[in-house]
Amino acid sequence: MRSLAMLQRAFREATHSPAQAARLFGETASGISAYANNILFNRVDALAEAFPVVKQLVGDEFFNAMALAAAKAQPSQSGNLNLYGAGFAAFVADFPPAQSLPYLADAARVDWLGHCAYYAVDHAPFDPARLATLDADAQSALCFELGPAVGLMTSAWPVASLWRAHQPEDSPDYNDFPSPDQGGERVLVWRDARRRVRVMRLLPAEFAFLDACQRQQPLTEALECALDADMDFDLGLSLQRWINDQVIVNYHERVTP
């Protein structure tokens, strides 16, 4: 007699393979196959929701075929379909019909960062007045913290520009539409105070500073990274903007051994 755990494992395997369903469940396999199809198409719908720019770039027919292939190859690890899609960009990178679109996988990474930003937990805004309570030595050793809705990435393709070009409020004129081969970009993704997902390309010094913050480097080292990229980096102006935009949401003092 099968244990409950064995039955659950067999059912999970059957929902991914009609052959397994027939072997394990015999006459009831057709019902399981119908259930499995519902699962697959729920995943396809979840991918369409999470990767809207990728879908616009390739069109509905291509996207649906690619998403169905991904849904078959990548089972969900959670009952929450908002969490489904973390492996889609890697799947796109290896998907043979997409090889003629080498920027597509990075476009998917931007979409996923935006999806994660939208569903990220809320964080209280940063109070810059707190910095005034620290002396100069403490300020130089503090580590700025990026918000839970913040994502950073680099790409050999202009994926931030492509993302923005596919937003209704940012659509450029046809003659200004970004070309995929116009060069790479450093990308910042976040959710602003109005709960809108925002994507922008960063200058080298801006990316270097935020990347150092994400790696929990203290202010002095983060600033050094930025100035190595551009000696004209304006720390005060950048901090004001990132705090207002809820990119930087907190800080902690680095504990030295």
The one-letter code for the residue type at 147 is G
H-state helical runs in 84-191: 88-94, 104-119, 136-141, 159-165
Other C-beta atoms within 10 Å of 175: how many? 5
Q: Which fold is adopted by the domain 123-257? A: Outer Surface Protein A; domain 3 (3.90.930)
The pLDDT assigned to 143 comes to 93
The answer to whether the beta carbons of residues 185 and 158 sit under 8 Å apart is: yes
Domain residue spans of the chain: 9-101, 123-257
Written as six digits, the tokens of 121 are 């937990």
Q: What percent of the residues of the chain are helix, what percent strand, and what percent coil, each to the nearest 5?
A: 60, 10, 30
- Interhelix angle 18-25/29-50, rounded to 10 degrees, is 150
118 in helix, strand or coil? helix
Strands (E), the chain: 142-146, 151-155, 185-191, 197-202, 248-253
- Interhelix angle 4-14/29-50, rounded to 10 degrees, is 70
Mean pLDDT by 10 residues, the chain (257 residues): 54 54 51 63 93 96 96 84 94 97 97 97 82 76 93 97 86 62 93 92 98 95 97 95 93 70
Q: What is the distance between the alpha carbons of residues 9 and 17, in angstroms, rounded to a whole number?
A: 13
The answer to whether the beta carbons of residues 188 and 202 sit under 8 Å apart is: yes
111 in helix, strand or coil? helix
Radius of gyration for the alpha carbons in the chain, expressed in angstroms and rounded:
23
The pLDDT assigned to 174 comes to 45
For residue 238, what are the CA distances in angstroms to 23, 90, 100, 157, 202? 62, 33, 38, 25, 11
The answer to whether the beta carbons of residues 248 and 190 sit under 8 Å apart is: no
For residue 51, what are the CA distances in angstroms to 47, 140, 198? 6, 40, 15
The answer to whether the beta carbons of residues 226 and 205 sit under 8 Å apart is: yes
